[in-house]
């Protein structure tokens, strides 16, 4: 192909590339209810809605073994898949694990990786039912496919005007944990072997190295009889995820800076790093919290759920997508989360 006709992958980004590559694929089987474009595919078999999702993690792109313990990596690689299933209002049931591994890894080190996967399966009640292994020339590759089920799947495209925008937990902590680890790697590479204390920063490191999927929130919503109109997990940053919901629902939104939940340790670390706290919360990613919308009439029920905050509302698409700052200014939301395909 001539150079003038070539499109750079980075110009599309991850989701643009996925759309470009897959939009011409029709769904030909009645069992294929939902294909590409959500946290998981939905397949109908008998009276069951099966959910299928997959994640690919590459050494040097998605994780750095300089500071990520293999046991933690195994746990995280499983949990991020479970999170996608919960984001569909489902329950994860099985995983299939495939790895590509170079000769520098020993059997014992791979056992450590799988011990983390096993722990995640125990905590979330998921079975590991198969997989594959292969040699690799480029380090460690992990690919996990998760299968789940949902009585009532929730998609990204169901948000309605005047719906409340809700988020679980707090945002930005995982990003701050990553900044801490990257700083230590840099200092170590420069020959600074000083042993540092991380007292007071444990939460940030745990959010980055050992995240948890919000199984509890899905259970509480079910107990209260609340079926979200749309839902997604916060893996690429609040701003990016909210724009996915708005784009697929063809709606606008308003969120309020003062309502975005941020932990004290996150705020303190942002100040120490002289970084924008709200930027970390909007764009940091890897929080694996649930972002969802519910009808306005569910306001009191949502307010009664510990750890869930109402941060805004859905509007007509013509009003755009924006955040209202503490001083009343309106800032357009942009998808600035992490993108592995960026130049």
CATH number at residue 100: 3.30.1330.10
Taking residues 105-121, report their average pLDDT.
Answer: 97
- Final residue of a domain: which of 149, 181, 200? 149
Length of the chain as a residue count: 343
Whether 104 and 252 map to the same domain: the answer is: no
Taking residues 212-238, report their average pLDDT.
Answer: 97
Is 138 inside any structural domain? yes
Between CA 208 and CA 178 the distance in angstroms is: 6
Asked whether residue 68 carries a pLDDT value surpassing 50, the answer given is yes
Is 195 inside any structural domain? yes
Taking residues 248-273, report their average pLDDT.
Answer: 97
Q: What does the pLDDT read at residue 337?
A: 57
301-329 tens-digit pLDDT: 999 999 999 999 999 999 999 999 999 99
- Final residue of a domain: which of 149, 177, 211? 149
pLDDT category of residue 1 using cuts at 50, 70 and 90? very low
Q: Return the structure tokens found at 163.
A: 């719906």
* Sign of the dihedral through C-alpha 286, 289, 295, 296: negative
Structural domain boundaries enclosing 94: 3-149
- Final residue of a domain: which of 149, 179, 196? 149
Is 129 inside any structural domain? yes
Is 338 inside any structural domain? no
Helix (H, G, I), strand (E, B) or coil at 318: helix
Q: What does the pLDDT read at residue 297?
A: 97
**Chain-wide mean pLDDT for the chain?**
92
CA atoms within 13 A on the CB side of 7: 8
| Count of domains for the chain | 2
The pTM (predicted TM-score) of the whole model is 0.92
Q: What does the pLDDT read at residue 49?
A: 97
Is 64 inside any structural domain? yes
CATH number at residue 298: 3.90.650.10
Specify whether the CB–CB gap between 307 and 220 falls below 8 A: no
Higher pLDDT, 233 or 1: 233
The structure tokens 């130049």 sit at 343
How much of the chain, in percent, has pLDDT values that exceed 90?
81
Is 254 inside any structural domain? yes
């Amino acid at each position: 192909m001539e150079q003038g006709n070539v499109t750079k992958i980075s110009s599309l980004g991850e989701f643009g590339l996925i759309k470009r590559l897959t939009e011409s694929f029709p769904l030909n089987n009645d069992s294929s209810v939902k294909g590409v474009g959500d946290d998981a595919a939905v397949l109908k078999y008998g009276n069951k809605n099966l959910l299928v999702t997959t994640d690919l993690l590459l050494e040097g792109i998605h994780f750095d073994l300089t500071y990520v313990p293999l046991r933690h990596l195994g746990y995280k690689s499983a949990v991020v898949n479970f999170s996608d299933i919960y984001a569909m209002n489902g329950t994860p049931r099985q995983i299939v694990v495939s790895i590509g591994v170079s000769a520098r890894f020993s059997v014992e080190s791979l056992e450590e990786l799988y011990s983390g996967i096993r722990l995640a399966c125990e905590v979330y009640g998921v079975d590991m039912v198969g997989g594959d292994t292969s040699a690799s020339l480029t380090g460690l590759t992990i690919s996990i496919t998760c299968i789940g089920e949902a009585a009532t799947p929730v998609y990204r495209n169901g948000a309605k005007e005047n719906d409340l925008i809700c988020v679980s937990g707090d945002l930005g902590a995982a990003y701050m944990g990553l900044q801490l680890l990257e700083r230590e790697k840099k200092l170590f590479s420069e020959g600074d072997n000083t042993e540092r204390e991380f007292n007071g920063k444990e939460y940030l490191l745990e959010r980055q190295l050992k995240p948890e999927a919000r199984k509890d929130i899905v259970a509480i919503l079910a107990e209260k009889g609340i079926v979200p109109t749309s839902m997604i997990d916060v893996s690429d940053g609040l701003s990016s995820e909210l724009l996915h919901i708005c784009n697929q629902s063809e709606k606008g939104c308003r969120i309020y800076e003062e309502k975005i939940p941020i932990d004290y340790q996150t705020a303190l670390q942002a100040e120490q790093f002289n970084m924008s706290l709200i930027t970390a919360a909007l764009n940091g990613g890897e929080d694996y919290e649930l972002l969802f919308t519910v009808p306005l009439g569910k306001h009191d029920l949502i307010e009664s759920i510990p750890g869930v905050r109402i941060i805004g509302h859905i509007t007509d698409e013509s009003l755009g997508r924006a955040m209202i700052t503490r001083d009343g200014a309106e800032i357009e939301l942009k998808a600035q989360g992490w993108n592995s395909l960026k130049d």
